[in-house]
Amino acid sequence: MRSWDRLFIGGEWAEPSSSSRIDVISPHTTEIVAHCPEATTADVDRAVQAAGRAFASGPWPRLPPNERLRALQRLLDLYTANMTEMGLLITEEMGSPISFGQAGAAWMTLKTMISIAETYPWEERRPGAFGDVLVRREPVGVVAAVVPWNVPQFIIMNKVGPALIAGCSVVLKPAPEAPLNALFLAEMVEQAGFPPGVFNVVPAGRGPFAFYRLEKSGWATPDAVQAIRRRWQVERACRSLGYSILTITQVATSPLRSSSLGSIAGPKPPAPWPHPLSQWKAACSAHPASRPAPCRSRAPSK
């Protein structure tokens, strides 16, 4: 099983600031099977600074949405080619049977988001009281994505996919129980040619991370941090099958509304989920990484 010795920060594989590392323990054997660096607060600050620079002066948030989607499509193509390896990696580090379709679910999520974003109204005119109103959706800034261990890639795609599509830059902190799949994803992001700093991965243990480091770095004011918290609460409240993709995309964007007389148009409700759950399951089960395979059971506790 593969190990990593560097963090993905600023578009390159960076040396960690300490020798501390995370040992990945296989639930099948209870043995250490791999390791990766454990990011310190200094490493997280470097990642946030890199993401902040990518957002403040890099090309990503200024690209037309269709160009960002082309980069996401390249990532999807790479993910498709590496899905079996990703599925096996997740199984080895967190114990889920390969038949559960961990990688297939993530692949389907990203594919669906790209499909929806192709027709998403990034800019539109709406009728107002004193004339037409121009509504333009723009990225909000640096996104801190903290994910659990149980369905890591699926949740990563639910957080990172909309953020990248919207034009945000991302600092991803995977769970210490399952950090390797995030680093493997970083390799694909690098191969897909994303600009430096747009996507950063800092595996770390438990404790304060996202909002605190964003505020301390200077890339977000206390008021902005509170706004991010509110948006995060909206994301949590709307994480249902019918709201997921479109609402989270709206969380990652900020509407800039303008007209000659300052008329304001209200937001539209999210559209219904276009893909029934049965289609999602069928798409996941159709890929080799989602098919049943032998799996060792967890060793009995001693």
User: Residue 79 has what pLDDT?
Assistant: 97
Residue 250 has pLDDT above 90, yes or no: no
Q: Which two tokens stand for residue 297?
A: 């059971």
Q: Residues near 205 by Cβ (< 8 Å), separated by ≥ 6? A: 22, 38, 176
The backbone torsions φ and ψ at residue 72, rounded to the nearest 5 degrees and listed phi first, read -65, -35
Query: Can you give the pLDDT at residue 293?
Result: 38
Nearby residues of 153 by Cβ (< 8 Å), 6 or more positions away:
86, 90, 102, 103, 105, 106, 181, 185
Residue 300: which pLDDT band, with cuts at 50, 70 and 90? very low
pLDDT at 153 over 90: yes
Domains detected in the chain: 7-281 (3.40.605.10)
Which tokens sit at 31?
A: 């043995």
The pLDDT mean for the chain works out to 76
pLDDT range class, residue 227, cuts 50, 70, 90: low
**Residues present in the chain in total:** 302
- For CA atoms 102, 103, 104, 108, the dihedral sign is positive
Threshold 0.85, pTM exceeds: no
Burial state string for 63-93 with b = 16 or more CB within 10 A and e = fewer than 16: eebeebbebbebbbebbeebbbebbbbbbbb
Could you tell me the pLDDT band of residue 71, with boundaries at 50, 70 and 90? very high
Give the whole-angstrom CA distance, residue 93 versus residue 1.
9
